[in-house]
Structure 1
Amino acid sequence: MCAIADTGSVRKAARQLGMTQPSLTTQLHRIEKALGGQLFFREPSGSRPTPLGHSVLCRARPIVAEMRALIDEVASTSQREQGTRLHIGSTNSPAVAGWLRRLRVRLPQTDTTIRTDVSANALLHMVATGQLDAAFVHEVEGAPLRVPDGLAEHELIAREPQFIALADTHPAAAQEVIRVADLAGDQWMVDPTVDGEWAGLRRIWAAAGINPRVVHGDYLTTVDLVTAGEVVTPCQPTARSRHGMAIRPLYGDPLAVRLFMACRQDDTPAASADDLFADLTAAYMEIAWASDAYRAWLVRHDGPLPVGS
């Protein structure tokens, strides 16, 4: 109930809780049946509590807080008795594998696990509630994330440019840098579940004076559509090119994200925040300089990473 009220959506709440939407809907109906009334108004824009729902939420939130405190206390005792654990999270990034590899070398006796999610806001919430020790996330320019109180931010890159992926047979692929207006006639693949992505793209389309066709999908499954010439799609500059695909920067770098690691202000139990951030920085630099397109951009712009790292 608290998750639905906080996110304003059963779908978003299910993702935050690691459940399927039908499972959460069934659970909500079971609670409503037990209490004898409707708890949320279902509207096109989402879900909002009914008067009964507000009353129940007032009782539920202290229970949830006490339960979280109990879980944290038990987990802390378990860590002391069974060894140390480190739980990290990340939005999709090629740097994650290198980050994990370095952490396991630094902390050989620690059980290190990773949680990935397309929603940076969901990961930040998990750090704030103790489900994760740290999270590496991206914040789309012009679409600020909801960073909970009590979290410390360690900024990796203030402004990472986002590139474009397109078929290597596309006429614009012959250019070193592509203007957004050159892609006005193309169909763009957009993942609307990525926090801030839709708003960022609409902003750059408006600035370029275009209104392209859009198809919604998952960036992880777009490779075949891109190489077939069916869509173009924004991508990270560190993304690996595939056969039949070209990755190019956009003229003027109109679409960018801020990369940072978030953790609770008190250090994580297995390692200091400085150590976690140092390994993340090294992993990011490794994949940045391994990318042909990003390496060329970095050399042209003299940064933001040390050349040769």
Structure 2
Amino acid sequence: MELEVRHLRALCAIADTGSLHRAARQLGVAQPSLSTQLRRIEQELGGALFVRARTGCRPTPLGRLVLSRARPLVTELRSLVTEARAAAVGGRQLRIGSTASRALAGWLRRLRRHWQEPTLHMDVSANALLRMVADGQLDVAFVHEVEGCPLRIPESLRTRVLIEREPQCVSLPADHPAAARPVVHLSELAGDRWMIDPAVDGEWDAVRRVLRAAGISPRVLHGDYHTAASLVATGEAVTVCQPTSPSRPETAVRRLYGDPLGVRLLLAARTDSELEGVYPDLADAYREVARQAPAYREWLEDLVPPGPRPPAPPFDGSRQTPMSLPSARYTATTDGRT
């Protein structure tokens, strides 16, 4: 057996996800098939590359050595494919649609290495962006799907999931009693006003469902998330926010106990080649902002077992082709939800 690029990709996927199951989902193969492939690779190289345990897979010293050489090769191949695809379409301008995400800046910065200046169209409505891709007005759309409120994905689109379930946090005033702890129980927010943007597909339904399940009949303010930020800062409201959102002197971002709210982050395009041309840069940009968010980083550290592990959160699944981070389990019209 000779090692091929697909074998190197498999090893990187196992290391990045910390799990054979999640790596198989990322690669779009059956777990038994991936396990068999890993055994053959280990036989070829003469030693175990991962320590398997109930908590997941961790690279052995030999595994870390192999990964240190495999990762640059896989990255270079991705860059080659991306640049070739961009050249094949004559360096045309890439039209991106997105709901709000702190990963956007890093994604655009990376895309500029291979494309002409991308255009960006932002919207709070993921469904609206997906329709624009299907109609040819956008090339790709990066959107979030609120748990329990499925998006209406046109049949003509291909999708790839970046994060199967990103837990949503709460933004509250820095002097709120609950802000003194890293994890907030919903019962501690029973007396607060909640600021919700009803234009975000499915979000109000999901928040209302979660609060009612906790026995809370919320007082609600409807508005955009730019306004929400100022209201939270002045103590007028609390609001849902992404785990990558930064805390500020006047506000605090905290995890919700039990992670009752989640969203799925996905990329949509009309063809697989369009997806693959921009997906790696998006994944890298997301890892970057996830590492910079204390609340999210602590959540990820709680999930990932001690020992060597990938420097990023989990990415998972896909309607067509999935990817996953270690089980760390996201124009210009603007969506201010950051």
Please, what TM-score do these two structures have when normalized by structure 1? 0.69
Tell me the residue number matched to 1:297: 299
Which structure ranks higher in relative contact order (CA pairs < 8 Å, sequence separation ≥ 6)? 2
CA distance in 2 between partners of 1:191 and 1:220 (Å): 10
Tell me the residue number matched to 1:95: 103
Tell me the residue number matched to 2:133: 127
Contact 2:303 / 2:327 at 8 angstroms: preserved in 1? no
Contact 2:158 / 2:269 at 8 angstroms: preserved in 1? yes
Unaligned runs of 5+ in 2: 1-86, 305-312, 315-324, 329-338
Alpha-carbon displacement from aligned partner over 1:192-219 (angstroms, at most 9, x marks no partner)? 0000101110110111011010001111
Which of 256, 262, 273 pairs up with 1:267? 273
Superposition misfits of 4+ residues, deviation over 6 angstroms: 79-82
CA RMSD of aligned residues (A): 2.0
Tell me the residue number matched to 1:84: 92
Aligned identity (percent) is 56
Q: Offset of 1:307 from its aligned partner?
A: 9.2
CA distance in 1 between partners of 2:181 and 2:296 (Å): 15
Tell me the residue number matched to 1:187: 193
User: In the alignment, residue 94 of structure 1 is paired with which amino acid?
Assistant: R
Matched, 1:104 2:106: no
User: In the alignment, residue 298 of structure 2 is paired with which amino acid?
Assistant: A
Which of 164, 175, 189 pairs up with 2:181? 175
Matched, 1:248 2:248: no
Unaligned runs of 5+ in 1: 1-78
Contact 1:137 / 1:260 at 8 angstroms: preserved in 2? yes
Which of 190, 203, 207 pairs up with 2:209? 203
User: In the alignment, residue 303 of structure 2 is paired with which amino acid?
Assistant: H
Q: Offset of 1:82 from its aligned partner?
A: 8.2
CA distance in 2 between partners of 1:307 and 1:242 (Å): 27
Matched, 1:230 2:236: yes
CA distance in 2 between partners of 1:279 and 1:83 (Å): 17
Q: Offset of 1:117 from its aligned partner?
A: 0.4
Which of 159, 163, 186 pairs up with 1:153? 159
User: In the alignment, residue 239 of structure 1 is paired with which amino acid?
Assistant: S
Q: Offset of 1:100 from its aligned partner?
A: 0.5
Alpha-carbon displacement from aligned partner over 1:42-95 (angstroms, at most 9, x marks no partner)? xxxxxxxxxxxxxxxxxxxxxxxxxxxxxxxxxxxxx99985111011001111
Partner-residue secondary structure (3-state), 2:273: coil
Please, what TM-score do these two structures have when normalized by structure 2? 0.63
Alpha-carbon displacement from aligned partner over 1:17-48 (angstroms, at most 9, x marks no partner)? xxxxxxxxxxxxxxxxxxxxxxxxxxxxxxxx
CA distance in 1 between partners of 2:238 and 2:281 (Å): 33
Contact 1:299 / 1:307 at 8 angstroms: preserved in 2? no
Tell me the residue number matched to 2:70: none
Contact 2:147 / 2:261 at 8 angstroms: preserved in 1? yes
